[in-house]
Structure 1
Amino acid sequence: MSMLKGTNVPVSAQAVRVELGWQPGPGVPDVDASALLLASGKVRTDADFVFYNQPRHASGAVSHEGKTTAPGTTTDTLSVDLSRVEPAIERVVLAASADGGSFGRVPGLYIRVLDAADGTEIARFDSQDATVETAFLLGELYRRQGGWKFRAVGQGYGSGLEGLATDFGISVDDSQRPAPQAAPAPQAPPAPQPAPAPQAPPPPPAPPVAPYSAPEPPQPPAGTPAPATPVRLTKVTLTKDAPAVSLAKQGGTSGAMRVNLNWESRRPEPKGWAAKLGKAVAGNGGIDLDLCALYELTDGRKGVVQALGNAFGSLSRPPYILLDGDDRTGSVSAGENLTVNLDQKSSIRRILIFVTIYEGARSFADLHATVTLQPQNGAAIDFSLDECTVPSTVCALALISNNGGDLVVQREARYLVPDRGVSPQRTIDQAYGWGMNWTPGRK
């Protein structure tokens, strides 16, 4: 049962998942979840803001898990370990922001708090009165008498995520905002020219003087911390017209970069015995996609990271790429994820991210997939796949190339059709000239 605005419920779970959900569709803006950890009503530093460009709090208490899709619903999830929230933090504010429109165009907006241990719903609040707001403070987790409670808030902001963030003390980087154009000053009429005065004899030459040297600015005392870098709220969406982006220019130069693949079927949901059979075979809708990566290192080594053959890779040693697991649903959990160790980017020559259909579909024609690359430090990069019009079972998603020490992400979104008897992996290899020897594998 949905809570009324302003009401609260106790939260006895030690850890919770906060699920922000809505109904996607044509003209519906994308929605993003975020959290602010507050002490005395404000953040202590910009690091107390958890969102798509800053997905994990240093304490480990709050993290942004990302989006999942299911027929008729999209969710963006935050995880909150209440036992790890620092004592100075009094409230964890749970917010939503709309990208590309107002919340008046977002149907079915809700927030749910679930017990992370067993998925039991603790609280739910449905927002039903949105109009021109572009950000919402939907709820908050707060301390009360040694425990925690959840309050349904429903406060809207017309100034977007930036307005909400600055309201709680976040300093936002506005360097990419276009500067306002100053109006030209009116031109004054030309002043009358005075009559020329008689010329006086030139003065004697002045004695030479030492060149002027400006005093150096005062230095801050030793131990003074450097000013914090403002938070960047921008996201990067790759398109056909703008298909590439530099990770360095987006701040993604170190740490881990997560590559997420999420998908949903456009086909009607099966019913009755067909639904049971499909879920028994391969999760929701019976469709199993595999996220994979071909890699080439600067020392010449080549290989593949994939679930097939249990080639899951490693972050701490070559190839510095790790496949988190094998998700057979695309929607029940957070899709499939690869992680790239950007601290080892000097060892990486190129990485080709691709996806294959393992079972449950004959082509990508009935599927809708989105790809998100989330550097640990830097703006999120995302794109959707174009509609598939060929009988393709393998799709090249993105090519990451080392360009003079900078990793550049190139959107591919290229559907390939394997020849009869040729595996999807060999097909992608031939298209991009990797030159590897392939043998049959299983998982």
Structure 2
Amino acid sequence: MKFCELQPSEFESFVNENFSHYTQSRIHFDYKHEHDEPVYLVGVKEGDEVLAACLLNSAPAFKFFNYFYSHRGPVMDYNNKALVDLFYTELKQYLKARNGLFALVDPHIVMNYRDSDGNITEEKDVKGFIEQLQGLGYKHRGFPVGYSNDSQARFLSVLNIEDKSEDELLKEMEYKTRRNIKKTYEMGVRLRDLSIDETDKFFELFKMAEDKHGFSFRDFDYFVKMQQIYKDQCRLVLSYIDLDEHLDILRNALNQKEEEYNKEKLKLDENPDFRKLRNKVEQLEKAIDKDKKKIKEIEALRQSDGKILHLASALYIHNEHELYYLSSGSNPKYNQFMGPYNMMFEMIKYAKSLNLKTYNFYGVTGVFTEDAEDYGVLKFKKGFNAHVEEYIGDFILPLSQFYKLYELKQKL
């Protein structure tokens, strides 16, 4: 076995054949390379066979040095201790030779599988791997919960879709989620793709989510760049409703109820003592009044907000293994139309069409109590029958004696 740089083609073949994160991709490398951004493809080979592969980014740090990041890599068999030892030992020397100050590595290793309530359903033994890396000089940063601006989410909400039909996936969802999905189709909620020139439509909804949850995540240019990087592997989608179409649906439903009411009322006039029939007529009368009120509300909304309402929007990226639901936003004013439910199910169907294994709802905080900052988001994802995968976390590799000064400066 030998540590070496990899050709883009052999890197691409390996990460496509072996389960990997979307950031470990040829398309990511090509964009960085074409725009003269520092990027490296390294790995381990035995003869012509690739055994490990990793895309690395770097950026200037502390004036004269470089910082390196492994992007949920490398892709390898982490149970092969000899392979792990060779890769991480040689990686250290490789980065030192490139004036490295430190490296952040976040191995793509799940340590716990949890249900949506946080209970561990399957536990992996990662103690040996952590000790092995620490013995090589990599410092584990522990098992934090919550969100961080300087590392990937450690807890991911994931739905297995492999070998399951759409009907089976629906059946496994919570009743409320199934009902809401069905209602969105009945109301006329639809999904369309946004072009890169329409990113502002997404960003407006995304900012609403930031304001609601009190966080600031990414700026507008980041989402444009993601589309430029991932091209056909990226979809920016918009859930919307046409109120003219929605009003037609409501009016048709009202007409049907009125026709039924008139028929049943005639029967009741002929049989005034028929209690069951009288109850049915009363229920239809209430339903008609409710529909008329709803139509007036929607007509007023159409007048004030326009024909087309933007309900929710999200950025998705996929590789050969997963579809990732990365960033989203919705307009709380239009919650009655439940756009996110329609968007999720349409994109789950899209993931099925690509023959992917999983639909990745992406990050949750890892706090499963009702006081969690993302408890509402966690409950929403739970409704789709998603489980939670807890990753091993990050390691810091100091590469220079000046790293301690850098660390001190960061703390100050």
Answer yes or no: same fold by TM over 0.5. Answer: no
Give me the TM-score of the superposition, normalised by structure 2: 0.29
Higher strand share: 1
Higher helix share: 2
Higher RCO (CA-CA < 8 Å; seq separation 6+): 2
Give me the TM-score of the superposition, normalised by structure 1: 0.27
